Structure 1
Amino acid sequence: MTALGPVLVVTMIDDPTADLVISELHDRGVPVVRLDSGDFPATLSFAARLTPRGFDGTLSTPTRTADLARVRSLYYRRPSGFAFPLLTEQDARFAVTQARYGLGGVLASLPGCLYVNHPHRIGDAEFKPAGLATAVRCGFRVPPTLVTSDPVAARAFARACGPVLYKPLSTPLYRIDGVSCTVEVGEVTADQIDERVAGTAHLFQQRVDKTADVRVTVIGREVFCVRIDSGVLDWRTDYDRLSYTVAEPPPGIVESLHRYLDHFGLVFGAFDFAVDKAGAWWFLECNPSGQWAWMEPETGLPMVSAMADLLERRTT
């Protein structure tokens, strides 16, 4: 790997966070190749040959070509999925699989490349039960939690640990009247839990009697803590009600953050905490691909610069 190699930014076309980071890298004279893996094979092509030190070859977009052996870092954000609309359903399914394991496998195997984050490590960290179990081992406070498909167990948990929240284990998008929506976090009682729980897996968690939330963004070794005051259960449902304040983490939090990321092999994470009336921070989740750039104008924290430092490899 040579310092002259480009940064690959793998994301969808509409990504304001990536736009800010790319602009910062351009201002520094760092070469960038932006691509969406979903553009393959229409406007994206590659040829990768296995060598003793890994894959060598090229990846080409309509405006850029990257030498795969010289990529200094790969910023993996939120690319769109592979799609082959002109093929039959069976042929498209085959083509998607080949693209995922072919192009996806090459992008995950670049020699000397710093991944922010590695797509396979992102996949591991997106399993909420694994994240919660790791958070406990790393020393975070974690609310009592039940993952179940058993209505009897769910009702018993709600009675014993109420007030209880229902949280989706993942966040698939729904479209209602053409508008993208997600399943919201909501409070539930034992009486509201019925046999439909047996239809799939559910996550129930004791509600923290919180006074505020904190979003902690870790970029390499840099830690940015922002207190979010909203007065609502889930601050992501009403951004107009949010106010932001730079926060200082309690003792031990920073060390636990890095232990958590090291466990999953990540160098970036967006952590969410609830702050109770005693000032204690309760771990809720860590998103390995979370959003963060909207907080910089609100707080003045140099987050874009920190991400550019990491991708440029000033900090490694």
Structure 2
Amino acid sequence: MSDLRPVLVVTSLHDPTADVVTRELHGRDVPVVRLDSGDFPASLSVEATISHPHGIQGRLHTPSRTADLAGVRALYYRRPTGFAFPHLDEQDARFAITQARYGLGGILAALPDCLYVNHPHRVGDAEFKPSGLAAAVDAGLDVPPTLITSSPDAARAFVKRYAPVLYKPLHNPVYRVDGVSNVVKVAEVAVEDIDDRVAGTAHLFQARIRKSADVRVTVIGRQAFCVRIDSTLLDWRTDYSQLRYTPVEPPPGIAGALRRYLAHFGLVFGAFDFCVGADGRWWFLECNPSGQWYWLEPETGLPMCAALADLLERKP
């Protein structure tokens, strides 16, 4: 008998990667309920009871679908929008947002017999860059010397010792300049660039590896898809038109280290970025637990969408 339990896809309305995965699941006759948690409560509603011995039971309603909370097969957590209550004043809206986050968010995080790709709480844990760098070291990956500080003196000393050094934002909120979205870019920094403004918040400085290429490793369940990215760019994400892609095999020890890293955070999916030194050594830069991956499939022919659908379908 076929398994009719649905996969929940939690993301924003405009998410081409989720579109592709949803089509793949539909082609396999796997039911899908797609929702944006940010639509709660305007066009998304929930009713859930919690009791012994059943745990959470109830239903989640979208304008076109209903999901039995106790019968969700897997939850694909991508990039939902935040809760918003624009019709309320600031104080009431703040209260309503916290109730929605801990209410609906708590329900989605406690579904019985559900495979999370990835669990939203684990995603939150893994998005802290210092935690990710420390976990990478523990997993056996090579990590460039890195400083997180609010001390101008410490920053100057680090730049003098490890030059050339890069500045990287610890997280990248969107800045709007003349209505256009911008982000803080990775950039090389010199001693004379360090001033007292460093004391205003936390900053990440990292020794720059003289690289021959970059590598994106997308881990989906038990499979790791490694793609070498060749360009002349400091940060390849600034201009995709300059990139060339080649599927590669990882050096010995990398695959096991990636599994240890994901296990540390309780993840089953991760988009890892490495740079390759002139000697061929792979240096860990970061892992995005909700990273993009589909653009690499048509460029390389790697069957990543099928692998993700297999995972969500919970194929043995």
Query: How many correspondences in the alignment?
Result: 314
Aligned-partner Cα distance in 1 for 2:194–2:236: 25
- Whether 1:13 and 2:13 are equivalent positions in the alignment is yes
The separation in 2 between residues aligned to 1:54 and 1:303, in whole angstroms, is 34
Which residue does the alignment assign to 2:182? 181
Counterpart position of 2:25: 25
Contact 1:274 1:281 in 2 (8 A): yes
Map of 1:142 onto structure 2: 143
Distance 1:303 1:180 in 2: 29
Counterpart amino acid of residue 165 in structure 1? L
Give the partner amino acid of 2:42. Answer: A
Q: How far did 1:180 drift?
A: 1.3
1-side partners of 2:81 and 2:125: how far apart? 19
Tell whether 2:253 aligns with 1:261: no
Matched, 1:41 2:41: yes
String of CA shifts for 1:53-93, please: whole Å, max 9, x gaps: 32100000000000000000000000000000111111110
What is the distance in 2 between the residues matched to 1:283 and 1:53? Answer: 43
Indicate the residue corresponding to 1:309 in structure 2. Answer: 310
Partner secondary structure for residue 314 of structure 1 = coil
Equivalences for residues 101-112 of structure 1 within 5 A: 101-112=102-113
The residue number in structure 1 matching 2:61 is 60
Instruction: Tell me the equivalent position of 1:287.
Output: 288
Q: Which residue of 2 aligns with 1:297?
A: 298
Query: TM-score by structure 1 length?
Result: 0.98
Deviations 1:111-138 (A, max 9, x none): 0000000000000000000000010010
Aligned counterpart, 2:210: 209
Structure 2: runs of 5+ lacking an equivalent = none
State the 1:177 CA deviation. Answer: 1.8
Equivalent position amino acid for 2:194 in 1: I
Structure 2 distance, partners of 1:53, 1:202, is: 47
Instruction: Give yes or no for the alignment of 1:275 onto 2:276.
Output: yes
Q: 2: distance between equivalents of 1:219 and 1:41? A: 32
Counterparts of 1:72 and 1:63, CA distance in 2: 19
| Whole-Å separation in 1 of the counterparts to 2:69 and 2:171 | 33
Looking at structure 2, the residues matched to 181 and 72 of structure 1 have their Cα atoms a distance apart, in angstroms, of 38
Aligned-pair CA distance for 1:3: 3.3
Q: RMSD over aligned Cα, in angstroms? A: 0.8
Per-residue CA deviations over 1:176-216 (Å, capped at 9, x if unaligned) read 12221111000001111111000000000000000100000
Partner SS state of residue 260, structure 2: helix
Between the aligned partners of 1:98 and 1:3, the Cα distance in structure 2 is 34
Instruction: Show the 5 A alignment for 1:241-252.
Output: 241-252=242-253
- Equivalent runs, 1:111-260 vs 2, <5 Å: 111-260=112-261
SS of 1:96's partner is helix
Residue 20 (structure 1) shift: 0.2
Does the 8 Å contact 1:53/1:111 carry over to 2? Answer: no
Give the distance between the partners of 1:183 and 1:48, measured in 2 at CA: 41
Q: Which runs of 4+ in 1 moved over 4 A?
A: none
The question of whether the paired residues in 2 share the 8 Å contact of 1:163 and 1:207 is answered with yes
TM-score normalised according to structure 2 size: 0.98
| Secondary structure of the corresponding residue to residue 4 of structure 1 | coil
Following superposition, the deviation at residue 4 of structure 1 comes to 2.1
Q: Deviations over 1:250-285 (max 9, x none)?
A: 000000000000000000000000001110000000
